């Protein structure tokens, strides 16, 4: 399936179009997959979403990245354009008039204050206005205040009604959802979550134009986009192959979502198109088993761990920054590191709550997205740290490039992963776990199943009961008190070798080669001996 140049010589092993529903920056798995596939000889074009709506393109190693404009015109459902009579008889219609009226009243009141100031200045200059003008102005102030309260009330009714309808979890909403599920089965997502078509309309024509040999769809939203493009290509006589890269177990997302329409629609969409995939890859052994059972897959998904690169950094890569310098602390200050998004279910609050009991210990949160100085979750954590008197020991830092993470974190004394108990947290080893490991840090993890079992097995850290501050304090004191004991676990032969992206890239390349009827090129060096069972 290799492409040929004008002389007839193959120029690549085939064209791979990768799909992702984000802006690529910050998605280390997708970046590593695209770069390593290009290094292995595939012509890779990675399609993502331009976060600001402005399309752009750049090179990621040998892969081409294209960010597309994805208008979200179908995100708002038809009922969101109608007034919610049951919850707000007096509310404004949701057509934009509410913010217009609110702004107009603000302008009116601002003008009244200016006119009052003008009368005051005129009086001081010896030109007092007639008394009736002052009286009229006070009357207009009263009228403006009354109108302002009326507009605010109607606006509040609109906002409350929209918020309630957005959840789509009320009795009528649930009945509507059940009706369409009964009538259309897995195809009901077309009624329940039409916003999925926005992705199709933006990505589909581009994929068709690229005429790929293989489509690599990342996660559940892109599965449908990739599957429909595959079906169109096959109908046109082109034997396209589809790989679905399942990053998480969709039914295992926050259970609270199951009451609403969104998760049910996404699951139906996934069930409809999972059978189209020629191969499935995923992030853990446990998730592979779940996916095979959930979708009755013919073969068990291949496991491609979220492991970091350990080979030479890209030629144009800058060295990793100094973690302690960014925190403004010296080498002898005890430092805990956390890398990744901050959200309530990530459990980082337990570390902040523990700091008053961990004298002198600092916490580095490598959690700021590109271009941001805070997020609502981070702001809440920092406010709590201030209440506890430990704000000077909490440092929020921006993300670094994925190939810099392990080196950047290695300056810490220990790392933490305090996840709450959720289905998806129980079944996988996260990016940060492998990054912490390659930084050779003692790790403090909550007792989520897979990660806790791994840490207990390897001896590389301590496990605490999730959301238990005292347990967290005990675990941190243990690793800081005898770090060498935990770091020694990384000297076990082969432990870190199996947790590298280089190993995972071989598995992924093997999937590509098998689907495209190729034989994988033999590794150039001793890496062949490190291939996991079943991937040779």
The string of DSSP letters for 448-516 reads -HHHHHHHHHHTSEEEE-TT-HHHHHHHHHHHHHSHHHHHGGGGSTTTTTTSSHHHHHHHHHHHHHHHT
Does 342 share its domain with 460? yes
Q: Are residues 123 and 233 in the same domain?
A: no
Instruction: Answer yes or no: is 426 within a domain.
Output: yes
In a domain, 353, yes or no: yes
Q: How many CB atoms lie within 10 A of CB 115?
A: 16
User: Do residues 151 and 280 share a domain?
Assistant: no
Instruction: Give the CATH number, domain containing residue 212.
Output: 3.40.50.2000
pLDDT in tens, 465-507: 999 999 999 999 999 999 999 999 999 999 999 999 999 999 9
* Residue labelled with tokens 């199943």: 449
247-277 pLDDT, tens per residue? 999 988 866 665 668 888 999 999 999 999 9
Q: Taking each helix axis as running N to C, give the angle between helix 261-273 and helix 196-210, from 0 to 180 degrees, rounded to the nearest 10.
A: 30
pLDDT of residue 530: 33
**Residue-range definition of the domain harbouring residue 204:** 15-74+195-303
Say if CB 196 and CB 226 are below 8 A apart: no
Beta strand 63-68 with 56-60: parallel, antiparallel or unpaired?
Answer: antiparallel
Please indicate, yes or no, if residue 287 is contained in any of the structural domains: yes
Check whether residue 402 and residue 443 sit in a common domain.
yes
Do 170 and 44 reside in the same domain of the chain? Answer: no
* Last residue in a domain, options 459, 476, 491: 491
Phi, psi of 236 (to 5 degrees): -85, 0
Same domain, yes or no, for 56 and 109?
Answer: no
Three-state DSSP class for 444?
A: strand
Same domain, 331 and 448: yes
Burial-class residue 336 by CB neighbours within 10 Å (0-12, 13-18, 19+).
Answer: buried
Which of 285, 280, 319, 283 has its CA nearest to residue 296?
280
Domain boundary among 269, 303, 337: 303
Q: What is the mean pLDDT of each run of 10 residues along the chain (536 residues)?
A: 48 90 90 95 97 92 95 67 62 81 90 89 87 89 92 85 65 81 91 91 96 97 96 95 95 69 91 96 94 95 92 75 95 96 94 97 92 89 96 94 90 97 90 94 96 96 97 97 96 93 95 88 45 31
Asked if 46 and 521 touch (Cβ cutoff 8 Å), the reply is: no
Output the pLDDT for position 521: 65
Give tens-digit pLDDT for 184-224: 999 999 988 889 999 999 999 999 999 999 999 999 999 99
Cα separation, 163 vs 178, whole angstroms: 21
3-state secondary structure of 338: strand
* Burial of residue 324, with CB atoms counted within 10 A of its CB: 0-12 exposed, 13-18 middle, 19 or more buried: middle
Is 308 part of a structural domain of the chain?
no
Instruction: Confirm whether 204 is domain-assigned.
Output: yes
- How many structural domains is the chain composed of? 3
Domain boundary among 181, 208, 230: 181
Whether residue 203 is found in the same domain as residue 105: no
DSSP 201-222: HHHHHHHHHH--SEEEEEHHHH
Please indicate, yes or no, if residue 471 is contained in any of the structural domains: yes
E runs forming strands in 20-97: 43-49, 56-60, 63-68
| Same structural domain, 150 and 223 | no
**What one-character DSSP code corresponds to residue 101?**
H
- 374 and 350 both lie in a single domain: yes
Spatial distance between the Cα atoms of 370 and 372, rounded to a whole number of angstroms: 6
User: Please, which residues bridge with residue 241 across strands?
Assistant: 214
Write down the residue that tokens 């970091």 correspond to: 308
Burial class (CB in 10 A: 0-12, 13-18, 19+), 426: middle
As given in the structure block, the two tokens for residue 232 are 């169109």
What is the b/e burial string over 278-291, where b = at least 16 CB atoms within 10 angstroms of the residue's CB?
A: bbbbbbbbbbbebb
In a domain, 341, yes or no: yes
Q: Is residue 271 part of a domain?
A: yes
Whether 328 and 264 share a structural domain: no
Complete DSSP assignment for 216-252: EEEHHHHHHHHHHHHHHHHHTT---EEEEEE-S-GGG
Q: Does residue 237 sit in the same domain as residue 151?
A: no
At residue 257, the pLDDT reads 60
């Amino acid at each position: 399936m290799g492409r040929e140049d004008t002389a007839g010589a193959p120029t690549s092993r085939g064209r791979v179009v990768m799909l992702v529903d984000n802006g690529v920056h910050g998605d280390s798995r997708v970046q590593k997959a695209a770069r390593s596939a290009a290094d292995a000889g595939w012509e890779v074009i990675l399609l993502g979403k331009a976060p600001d709506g402005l399309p752009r393109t750049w090179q990621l190693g040998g892969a081409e990245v294209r960010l597309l404009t994805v208008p979200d015109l179908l995100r708002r459902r038809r009922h969101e354009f109608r007034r919610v009579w049951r919850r707000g008889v007096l509310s404004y219609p949701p057509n934009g008039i509410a913010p217009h009226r609110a702004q107009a009243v603000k302008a009116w009141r601002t003008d009244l204050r200016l006119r009052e100031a003008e009368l005051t200045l005129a009086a001081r200059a010896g030109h007092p206005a007639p008394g009736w003008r002052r009286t009229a102005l006070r009357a207009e102030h009263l009228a403006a205040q009354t109108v302002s309260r009326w507009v605010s009330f109607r606006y509040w009714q609109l906002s409350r009604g929209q918020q309630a309808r957005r959840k789509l979890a009320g009795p009528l909403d649930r009945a509507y959802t059940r009706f369409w599920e009964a009538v259309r089965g897995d195809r009901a997502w077309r009624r329940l979550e039409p916003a999925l078509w926005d992705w199709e309309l933006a990505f589909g024509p581009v994929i068709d134009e690229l005429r790929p040999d293989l489509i690599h769809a990342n996660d559940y939203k892109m599965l449908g986009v990739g599957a429909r493009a595959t079906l169109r290509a096959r109908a046109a006589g082109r034997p396209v192959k589809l790989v679905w890269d399942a990053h998480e177990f969709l039914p295992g997302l926050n259970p609270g979502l199951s009451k609403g329409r969104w998760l049910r629609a996404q699951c139906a969409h996934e069930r409809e198109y999972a059978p189209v995939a020629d191969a499935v890859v995923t992030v853990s052994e446990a998730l592979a088993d779940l996916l095979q059972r959930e979708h009755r897959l013919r073969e068990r998904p291949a496991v491609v761990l979220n492991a970091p690169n350990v080979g030479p950094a890209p030629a144009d890569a800058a060295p990793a920054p100094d973690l302690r310098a960014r925190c403004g602390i010296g080498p002898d200050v005890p430092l805990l590191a956390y890398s990744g998004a901050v959200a309530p279910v990530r459990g980082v609050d337990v570390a902040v709550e523990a700091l008053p009991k961990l004298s002198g210990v600092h916490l580095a949160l490598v959690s700021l997205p590109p271009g941001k100085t805070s997020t609502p979750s981070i702001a809440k954590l920092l406010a709590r740290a201030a209440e506890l008197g430990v704000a000077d020991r909490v440092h929020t830092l921006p993300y670094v490039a994925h190939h810099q993470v392990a080196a950047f974190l290695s300056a810490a004394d220990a790392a933490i992963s305090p996840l709450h108990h959720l289905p998806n947290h129980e079944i996988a080893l996260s990016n940060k776990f492998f990054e912490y490991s390659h930084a050779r840090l003692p790790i403090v993890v909550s007792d989520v199943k897979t990660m806790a079992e791994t840490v207990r097995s390897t001896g590389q850290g301590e496990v605490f009961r999730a959301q238990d501050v005292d347990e967290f304090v005990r675990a941190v004191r243990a690793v800081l008190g005898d770090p060498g004991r935990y770091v020694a676990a990384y000297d076990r032969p082969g432990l870190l070798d199996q947790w590298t992206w280089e190993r995972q890239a071989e598995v992924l390349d093997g999937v590509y080669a098998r689907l495209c009827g190729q034989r994988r090129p033999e590794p150039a060096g001793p890496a062949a001996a490190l291939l996991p069972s079943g991937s040779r």
